[in-house]
Structure 1
Amino acid sequence: MPRIRSSPNSSLPNPNAPPITTTTISTTTIHTNTTVDPAAAAVAGFFNNLLNKIPLPRWAIYTIFACGALLILLICLCICKKCCCKGKKKKRQKKTDEKINLNGVNGKTTTALVQPDVTDVDYGATKEKQRGKFLYSLEYKAAQSELIVGIKQANSLKAMDLGGTSDPYVKVYILPDKSRTCETKVFRNTLNPVFNEQFTFQISKSSLLNSTAVMQVFDFNRFSKHNIIGELRLQLCDVDWNHVIEEWQDLAGPAKFEEENLGEICFSLRYVPTAGKLTVVILEAKNMKSMDIGGSSDPYVKVQLALDKRKWKKRKTSIKKKTLNPYYNESFTFDVSFEQIQRVNLVISVWDHDAMTRNDAMGKIFLGCDASGNQLRHWADMLSNPRRPVAQWHNLLSAEQVNSTLTLKKKIPLASKLPF
């Protein structure tokens, strides 16, 4: 390397001269050997040009690329995990199949297919037990020819509503006559209702041995069909009548041979105590029984008031031709004082109109303080909500059932003998 040195003109130092400084400058030359790949350079140039065309800063572009790569990675991980789970399930299924096949080789394959195993019977029984348990009592008084059916309580009923609960009530009747149907009150939002109600049926000793007591537990719904939770059917000929029967039983599913369906009717009630006005609005009916040869009917509704078990006032709707699902929306207003409302029964009956012959009864129900079950609840809701209409669907019963329970007298006494 070349060096530049500065030295004095004379070899002898001059004491008066300033000190001499020596400066050494070194120059280093660095040679770098770089080999550039033309293909890589072309690709890099292409991406640089592409990035330059995107109207975003470089950091934003890099962030988007990083997020996309992370998303793709997560998707790949989920797919791998799903494939692994499928593989494990297949292995488990193979193991269980192998176990079943090994247990099935017992030389009795044909018998196993024809006759259910004991485990199958137990499985079906557990299904029925899910409907709940029911406590009832039976007592027969031979001297009075009275059968007393006690509806005590239920436990662990099947939930029928979305909230995991039910609104249970019990319907009781005796087959095959079924001259009377009784209902308990409705219990709201419970699977363990305590009813403690008794119903008395007039039945002779000879008829008792050929009869069946039916106790059905329903879930109450105001604006739709009441769903059955379970039922008990007791053959009364198998009962020991020497003492009172009281026992728990598991509720069974509804029998295939259900009672005759006479249809349903929807109407609203409204009572204004200050004005003494009772308004009944017949809204509609559905699934009515066909009464004519063509499979249809001409239904109309009769609205009747009975005061002190005597026929009092009545009105009727228009006739709907050739239909089993009539729509009326007809309103009727009656003058009923606050003193009379406690002694009044409202009778709703549906009739099939015949031009040439006598009109046929299609179904009937009654409401009031003498009613029971859903009819009594509807009446109580009307009284507890004055000046407000309360609508509800009701299942129609036969005219014989209602008449035997209500026992109306034919004529109302003269005005001078009225108790009001």
Structure 2
Amino acid sequence: MQMKLRLRKIRNDTRWRMHGAACSLGTINPELYKTDELEGEYDQYPDDHIGRVWLQLEYFSDSEKLLVNLIKAKNLPSRLIGSINACDPYVRLYLMPDERRYLQTKTRRKTCNPRFDETFCFQITAKELEDRALKLTFYDVDRDKKHQVIGHVLCLLKDLAPWEGKRMIRRDLEREVSLSPRQLGQLELTLCYNDNLERLTVTVGAARQLKVEDDRSDKNEFQARIALMQQTKVTKTKKTGVVKGTDSPSFYESFNFKVAPDALDTTAVCVTVTVGKKSDNVVGRVQLGSFMFSRGKALEHWDQMVARKREHVKQWHTLS
């Protein structure tokens, strides 16, 4: 009888300890649920959705560093119909308006729901934060090793102030984003590439509705500057004549550049419209080139030029 009582007591003590342990393990830790919006398991996506991204920002004023933790993305488009994982995405991060420098994630293979968990650091002063924007551009590397733009996310840093602790952000990708809230005007450009002559021709046509400050005495004196960039370095610069007396000047000047066929993927053309006598009075610019330099309509224009060699491909572009 004493042995039975002793065994029963041991079993009861064991049950109590197991029950206590279960309660301890099952206790909700608020820290684990602070960012449950990151999970997004029940998110609804519209029919034309091209992806959603989750990231975390933190700014350290003492060291003037902006940390960007790119956590994950979901619902990126699959390049093959009927497949849910035909996507090899990676992301480039820019501090706009500087598009020459960027940081880049590793490529995630065969997933439309990549988990990145990568942290990037930008050196920037607190004052500069007011005029900068964080831009994320998503790419997909297809079977032919071509880098196709999926979409973009733009975060105006001034809208995230005050910077106190970590900022959790969830955004949907967009096909086009613009840093400037106001229209700076449009510019007509024509591209032509002759592979036999290894010649790239850029024709600066008309501009329309250029926006400048009203109090400028030379507000209707415009010029366009064309810069050829290779491997992010400006190798040659040319200028149109000055057109006066209108906010919709017609330039219609053509410029030729020597570019080898195998250098097209590392080449870009930046056309900058300036006002007045000083070349640093910039109205806006358009950058055309391969996937390394351009996106959206600018990239489409360049790709059309490459595909339709020796043809003159014309398109209007919005200045930025």
Give the TM-score taking structure 2 as reference length.
0.52
**Secondary structure at the counterpart of residue 300 of structure 1:** strand
Cα offset for 1:377? 2.8
Matched, 1:279 2:196: no
Cα offset for 1:331? 1.6
Q: Structure 2: 5+ residue runs without aligned partners?
A: 1-45, 77-92, 101-111, 137-152
1:122-271 to structure 2, matched below 5 A, reads 135-140=52-57, 145-147=66-68, 152=73, 179-180=97-98, 202=122, 235=160, 237=162, 241=166, 245=168, 247=170, 259-271=181-193
* Identical counterparts, % of pairs: 19
Where does residue 390 of structure 1 map in the other structure? 313
Where does residue 18 of structure 2 map in the other structure? none
Deviations 1:72-99 (A, max 9, x none): xxxxxxxxxxxxxxxxxxxxxxxxxxxx
Is the contact between residue 208 and residue 237 of structure 1 (CA under 8 Å) also seen in structure 2?
A: no
Rounded to whole Å, the distance in 2 between the matches of 1:181 and 1:384 is 25
Q: Structure 1: 5+ residue runs without aligned partners?
A: 1-128, 156-171, 183-193, 217-229, 398-420
Amino acid at match of 2:310: R
Cα offset for 1:296? 3.3
Where does residue 290 of structure 1 map in the other structure? 212
Rounded to whole Å, the distance in 2 between the matches of 1:363 and 1:209 is 21
**Secondary structure at the counterpart of residue 289 of structure 1:** coil
Amino acid at match of 1:135: R
1:334-373 to structure 2, matched below 5 A, reads 334-354=257-277, 360-369=281-290, 370-373=292-295
Deviations 1:156-180 (A, max 9, x none): xxxxxxxxxxxxxxxx987xxx544
Rounded to whole Å, the distance in 2 between the matches of 1:236 and 1:264 is 32
Rounded to whole Å, the distance in 2 between the matches of 1:335 and 1:211 is 37
Where does residue 323 of structure 1 map in the other structure? 246
Rounded to whole Å, the distance in 2 between the matches of 1:195 and 1:326 is 47
Cα offset for 1:301? 0.8
Consecutive aligned runs of 4 or more in structure 1 exceeding 4 Å deviation: 129-134, 141-144, 148-155, 194-201, 203-216, 230-234, 236-240, 245-251
Amino acid at match of 1:241: K
Rounded to whole Å, the distance in 1 between the matches of 2:279 and 2:124 is 34
Rounded to whole Å, the distance in 2 between the matches of 1:313 and 1:250 is 35
Count the aligned residue pairs: 224
Is the contact between residue 218 and residue 276 of structure 2 (CA under 8 Å) also seen in structure 1?
A: no
CA RMSD between the two structures: 5.0
Deviations 1:296-337 (A, max 9, x none): 321111112123333322222221102111122222222222
Cα offset for 1:200? 6.4
Change in Cα spacing, 1:201 to 1:280, as seen in structure 2 (3 Å) is farther
Rounded to whole Å, the distance in 1 between the matches of 2:119 and 2:303 is 21
Is the contact between residue 211 and residue 236 of structure 1 (CA under 8 Å) also seen in structure 2?
A: no
Is the contact between residue 193 and residue 201 of structure 2 (CA under 8 Å) also seen in structure 1?
A: yes
Query: Which one has the largest radius of gyration?
Result: 1
Is the contact between residue 219 and residue 276 of structure 2 (CA under 8 Å) also seen in structure 1?
A: no
Rounded to whole Å, the distance in 2 between the matches of 1:195 and 1:385 is 35
Cα offset for 1:201? 7.3
Cα offset for 1:279? 0.9
Change in Cα spacing, 1:297 to 1:309, as seen in structure 2 (3 Å) is same
Rounded to whole Å, the distance in 2 between the matches of 1:287 and 1:199 is 42
Q: Per residue, is there more strand in 1 or in 2?
A: 2
**Secondary structure at the counterpart of residue 339 of structure 1:** helix
**Secondary structure at the counterpart of residue 379 of structure 1:** helix
Where does residue 237 of structure 2 map in the other structure? 314
Is the contact between residue 54 and residue 171 of structure 2 (CA under 8 Å) also seen in structure 1?
A: no
Rounded to whole Å, the distance in 2 between the matches of 1:153 and 1:295 is 50
Cα offset for 1:348? 0.8
Cα offset for 1:294? 4.8
1:95-110 to structure 2, matched below 5 A, reads none
**Secondary structure at the counterpart of residue 224 of structure 2:** strand
Cα offset for 1:372? 2.9
Deviations 1:268-293 (A, max 9, x none): 11112122111111111122122563
Change in Cα spacing, 1:263 to 1:149, as seen in structure 2 (3 Å) is farther
1:5-44 to structure 2, matched below 5 A, reads none
**Secondary structure at the counterpart of residue 303 of structure 2:** helix
Is the contact between residue 210 and residue 237 of structure 1 (CA under 8 Å) also seen in structure 2?
A: no
Q: Per residue, is there more helix in 1 or in 2?
A: 1
Amino acid at match of 2:55: L
